[in-house]
Amino acid sequence: MIQSILIATGFITITGLTLALLLVLAERRILNYGECEISINNGEKELTVQGGATLLASLAENDIFIPSACGGRGSCAYCKLRVLAGGGVISPVEEPYLSNEERKNGVRLSCQVKVRNDLQIEIPKELFSVCRFSGIIEYKKPLTYDIIELRIRLKQPESIDFVAGQYIQLESAEYKGRESVMRAYSIASVPADNRSIDLNIRLVPDGICTTWVFEVLKEGQAVHFTGPYGEFRLSDTDAPIICIAGGSGMAPIWSIIRDMKDRKIERETTYFFGARSQADLFYLEELRQLEKVLPWFTFIPALSAEPENSDWKGERGLITDVVSRHFPDCSRHEAYLCGSPGMIDACVAVLTKAGMPEDKILYDKFT
């Protein structure tokens, strides 16, 4: 009896695998989509591509780099764009990432749309200026026990134009049987230094890209990235500013504040940085120094799990409580938040409760 069940199970498994293989072969060899036209932004750009690849890959082959932090696996939702015609039906992978409004407007995950026929799509204009860069690791230095600063000296192109607050996508190389992936990191350096970029990278346990950066990547090694991406940036108003960051969420705020100094923007700015203990703090001396030279700038680090008997004389407690204590009324302010989704959601709740309109809160969630 058991033997018959095993034989039947084996038969079903082999049949299933054979059918799956045949489907893949059919997709690759029998179905020939031929050449397809992709019309972008109402004919502003026209591409002719070989059908069969994803829209994300087809655009990248033509040097149009759509953000894609998960490397096309359908799990980051960074690669959204509008498909106005020819995109076929929404796949089950896309379902959870698309709101009703987005569906109505033809928004799709470009990594899940296959180019099978002519397409009409719409992408933000600024993505036309995103490039693929190659550079050399100038240095890799520890900032804390799990965050490093990486400086990439640009080789080709030799300089980058970006706005403080934007991010790039670093390509990891294949190593120890792990595939190459792309991961998003905010630029920590300032636009005025356009021959190199600095990144603050936190080690994610078992993360493919961060493990590669920490364990494999060496100074002097060549690297590649695409960018710049993102809308997180200083607004063009005079409102006083509250910045809140945690961990490697420091990077875009660090860039924005020093860029304000470079551009002589003197808006009253208070920067709250949340960490667990003193071991998680970095750029402390540099930020204290900025406080001394910039009368409009205040830096408030706050520790949530520092031992009570330590020599720490600064703020203690959750960053949200510390912000509330300093700013019971935020109705005049704008906020710039950068950190984990949990931290950002908690900060948005506290700031709106203190009177800040939601459209005055800009954030960059690190997932």
Contact residues for ligand FES (CB under 6 A)?
68-70, 72, 74-79, 109, 111
Q: Find the shortest distance in angstroms from Cβ 160 to ligand FES.
A: 22
CA distance 247 to 199: 13
Nearer to ligand FES, 74 or 249 (CB): 74
Edge-to-edge strand ranges of the sheet holding 167-171 = 182-186, 167-171, 222-229, 131-142, 147-156, 196-202
- Dihedral Cα 85, 90, 94, 97, nearest 10 deg: 80
Q: Find the shortest distance in angstroms from Cβ 111 to ligand FES.
A: 3
CA distance 334 to 348: 11
DSSP state of 216: I
Q: Find the shortest distance in angstroms from Cβ 79 to ligand FES.
A: 3
Nearer to ligand FES, 55 or 351 (CB): 55
Token readout for 223 is: 């690297």
Q: Find the shortest distance in angstroms from Cβ 77 to ligand FES.
A: 5
Nearer to ligand FES, 69 or 241 (CB): 69
Q: Find the shortest distance in angstroms from Cβ 80 to ligand FES.
A: 8
Q: Find the shortest distance in angstroms from Cβ 81 to ligand FES.
A: 10
Token readout for 280 is: 């998680």
Cβ neighbors of 66 (< 8 A, separation 6 or more) are 56, 59, 60, 78, 79, 81, 110, 123, 127
Nearer to ligand FES, 70 or 187 (CB): 70
Q: Find the shortest distance in angstroms from Cβ 158 to ligand FES.
A: 28
CA distance 88 to 83: 9
Asked whether 141 and 201 are in contact (CB, 8 A), the reply is no
Residue closest to ligand FES when measured from CB atoms: 111
Nearer to ligand FES, 208 or 354 (CB): 208
> 183: closest CA among 164, 153, 203, 157?
203
Nearer to ligand FES, 75 or 196 (CB): 75
Q: What sign does the CA torsion over 340, 204, 271, 193 have?
A: negative
Q: What are phi and psi of 268, to 5 degrees?
A: -55, 120
Residues for the chain: how many in total? 367
Place of tokens 């994803």: 54
Asked whether 270 and 242 are in contact (CB, 8 A), the reply is yes
Q: Find the shortest distance in angstroms from Cβ 118 to ligand FES.
A: 22
Nearer to ligand FES, 170 or 350 (CB): 170
Q: Find the shortest distance in angstroms from Cβ 157 to ligand FES.
A: 24
Nearer to ligand FES, 181 or 244 (CB): 181
DSSP 55-110: HHHHHHHTT-----TTSSSSSS-TTEEEEEES--SPPTTTGGG--HHHHHTTEEET
Nearer to ligand FES, 88 or 142 (CB): 88
